[in-house]
A and B are shown apart, each in its own frame.
Chain A
Amino acid sequence: MPFVSVPPVMPPTSDSLIVARGLTKRFGDFTAVDGIDVEVHRGEAFGFLGPNGAGKSSTMRMIGCVSSPSDGSMHVFGLDAATHGAQIRARIGVVPQLDTLDTELSVKENLWLYGRFFDLPRAECRRRATELLEFAQLTDRADSIVDNLSGGMKRRLSIARSLINEPELLLLDEPTTGLDPQARHVLWDRLYRLKQQGVTLVLTTHYMDEAEQLCDRLVVMDQGHIVAEGSPRDLIARYSTREVLELRFAADGNEAAAAQLAGIGDRLELLPDRVLIYADDGETALTETHHRGLSPESALVRRSSLEDVFLQLTGRSLAD
């Protein structure tokens, strides 16, 4: 029998909400997303992390069926995104990185007119709008023109608007950028509740605490590629040590100190403002530092976080 090459077929798992294979986005000669494979399961919270320009938003836009892939395939809800865009969009909610609110309309009108785009009856749009105003804590601003809202209020309205069609899948591109800490915590709580109701969440973020709090699973993207995938805990175990020693030296002293610190712990990272030493036992590393005659201005032993994973994988800190 002749040898037949079988294309890689993924078993059609019933709980896969998004299945992307070789997903690619090119803008002219530039490849923003370079053949990534992603699978998101029903009911989970899935995160895209990565430095600026990694291709997160481009990927989100393809999943949201507002941008067509240059290559590869994508299925959402088992429907082919290339042919069933409108049907897919009817069942998802989208919070784009930049708000696309209708600034000429009032807060309330923004909600119910958006519902009309989904063919919801007028009465139903109004009912949901009232609920969502409550959800976004904007009830007392219901009649304000959107142009006059603060940035954080607009963000909350964007998120509320994305829920008007009671989506099964919610795409959130940097949902909490621009929110004050209290509003962020409120939003995390709301997202957690949506997840408990069975809504699948896909989000991008530059905040590590957000990713650790919200995501069951995440991928780290860099230059259009996926460089790591797993749960926050997995990734920390795989790409970082148990603890990290953070040292700060007097002005401009970090680089000189780093040279003398070589060999302590598993790995050393020199940042503009501090030196990080990755070690399973931070205290021991600190003792060794003192042994070498170095006296940092401040020293802190902490547990490894996603931030460290990110740094290791992309060579950049997440806050960039």
Chain B
Amino acid sequence: MTILLRIIPAGFVVRRPQRMIERHVVAYRRQWLIIVSGFFEPLFILLSVRAGLGDLVGEVSVAGRAVPYEAFVAPALMASSAMNGAVFDSTGNVLHRLKYARIYDAALATPMSPADVAMGEIGWALLRGQMYAVGFLGVMAGLGLVESWWALLALPACLLVGFAFASIGFLATTYMRGFADMDMVNTVVLPLSLFSATVFPVSAYGDLAWLVQVSPLYHGVALVRAANTGVWSASLVAHALVLLVVSLVALLAATRRVDLLLRK
């Protein structure tokens, strides 16, 4: 808590982050195809898993129960896609608005605060991510990969994953010098989506299991998977807390960076 207090910028005031979202809604009215195209990637991934991988791997044990591999991997894909969407929205797009389009400079000349800008951008990434998560869940249900109504809780779980990664992505972007630095994003995101107990259960990592647990995505995958199977345990509270704390710390740090960069 003391760390949180120390990094809260003196002028951390959130009044109208929704204005930033309003701007994006208007701007994307002209580019709705971009929004729609976001639904397809996870759909293709799910279909390919269905078509091939599932037969090869057979069954996997989750919380002591044997489940078909595709039911094991689908929630992980859902969490990964929430992460990818959030990172995508909060890095490249934000860098463009921050350094080239100077949209935040314009906003900060009004009563908007740096916290409004940061929260608005992260909120937008979440909103967009939630749309895709709903689509994803619908496809999963259509393919018979959803086990119970508990699966609806995968939506708030994806919201948490999105919050964490949008905040981290935004924070990282404030340190980028130009689009060349965007390559680093892929360097980080790809291993995360492969090694966060997504395609293998965490037990398969042996002595390196602790490393997996450092990844925020691991905690998100655990939540989405639990929602999908409807098997609950106390450790889920810890997973959710990790994501929440990471999100808030990154959000506050990002706000401070916006303040430093744009109000110098």
Q: Which residues of A contact B (CB under 8 A)?
A: 27, 64, 66-68, 85-87, 89-90, 94, 96, 98, 100-105, 109, 113-114, 116-119, 165
B1-47 residues with Cβ-Cβ distance < 8 A to A are 11, 13, 15-16, 19, 22-23, 26-27, 30
Tell me whether A66 and B109 are in contact (CB under 8 A).
yes
List chain B residues, Cβ under 8 A from A102: 23, 27, 101, 103, 106
Mind listing 6 A-B residue pairs with CB under 8 Å? A66-B108, A100-B106, A102-B101, A104-B30, A113-B22, A114-B110
Cα A96 to Cα B102 in complex, Å, equals 12
Across-interface contacts of A118 in B (CB, < 8 A)? 110-111
Beta-carbon contact of A105 and B22 below 8 Å: no
**Residue B107 is within 8 A (CB to CB) of chain A in the complex:** yes
Q: Give chain A residues whose Cβ lies under 8 Å from the Cβ of B11.
A: 85
B105 interface residue per 8 A CB criterion: yes
Contact of A64 among B16, B19, B30, B109 (CB under 8 A): B109
Q: How far is the CB of B96 from chain A (nearest CB, A)?
A: 9
Q: Does B263 contact A (CB under 8 A)?
A: yes
B112 at the binding interface (Cβ < 8 Å) = yes
Question: A105: which B residues are within 8 A, CB to CB?
Answer: 23, 26-27
A103 touches B23 (CB 8 A): no
| Residue B65 CB within 8 A of the other chain | no
- Which 4 A-B pairs have CB atoms at the shortest separation, nearest pair first? A117-B110, A100-B106, A86-B111, A94-B109
Residue in B closest to A85 when the chains form the complex, CB atoms: B11
- A64, A85, A87: which has the most chain B beta carbons within 10 Å? A85
CB-defined contacts of B228 to chain A, threshold 8 Å: none
Contact A104–B101 (Cβ < 8 Å): yes
| Residue B113 CB within 8 A of the other chain | yes
**In the complex, A66→B261 CA distance in Å?**
11
The CA-CA distance from A5 to B110 in the complex, in Å, is 40
Query: Is the C-beta of B177 less than 8 angstroms from some C-beta in chain A?
Result: no
**Chain A residues near B264 (CB-CB < 8 A):** 27, 67
List B residues at the A interface (Cβ < 8 Å).
Answer: 11, 13, 15-16, 19, 22-23, 26-27, 30, 101-103, 105-113, 262-264
- CB-CB under 8 A from B107, the residues of chain A are 117
Instruction: Name the residue on A nearest B23 (C-beta).
Output: A113
A86-B111, A105-B26, A118-B110 as given contacts; A96 in contact with B105, CB under 8 Å: yes
A13 to chain B, nearest CB (A): 27
Are A89 and B110 in contact, CB atoms less than 8 angstroms apart?
yes
> Do A116 and B19 have beta carbons less than 8 Å apart?
yes
Is B106 a contact partner of A104 (Cβ separation < 8 A)?
Answer: no
A227, B15: Cα distance in complex, Å:
41
Please state if B109 and A116 are interface contacts (CB–CB under 8 Å). no
CA of A118 to CA of B109 in the docked complex: distance in angstroms? 10
Taking a contact as CB atoms under 8 Å apart, the answer to whether B106 and A90 are in contact is no
Query: Contact between B113 and A103 (Cβ–Cβ < 8 Å)?
Result: no
Residues of B within 8 A of A165 (CB): 110
Q: Among B16, B22, B263, which residue has its beta carbon within 8 angstroms of that of A68?
A: B263
Residue of A nearest to B105 (CB): A100
**Which partner residue on chain A sits nearest B110 by CB separation?**
A117
Closest B residue to A100 by beta carbon equals B106
User: Judging by beta carbons under 8 Å apart, are A67 and B106 in contact?
Assistant: no
Contact yes or no, A90 B109, CB < 8 A:
no
Residues of A within 8 Å of B262, CB to CB, are 66
Shortest Cβ distance from residue A304 to the other chain B in the assembled complex, whole angstroms: 37
Q: Does A89 contact B109, Cβ atoms closer than 8 Å?
A: yes
Given contacts A87-B111, A117-B112, 9 further A-B contacts (CB under 8 A): A67-B263, A94-B109, A102-B23, A105-B23, A105-B26, A113-B19, A117-B111, A118-B110, A119-B111
CA distance A105 to B106 in the complex (A): 13
The complex places the Cα of A116 from the Cα of B19 at a distance, in Å, of 7
Q: How far is the CA of A101 from the CA of B101 in the complex (A)?
A: 8
B109-A104 in contact (CB<8A): no
The 8 Å CB contact of B27, one of A27, A94, A104, is A104
Specify the chain A residue showing the minimal Cβ separation from B100: A103
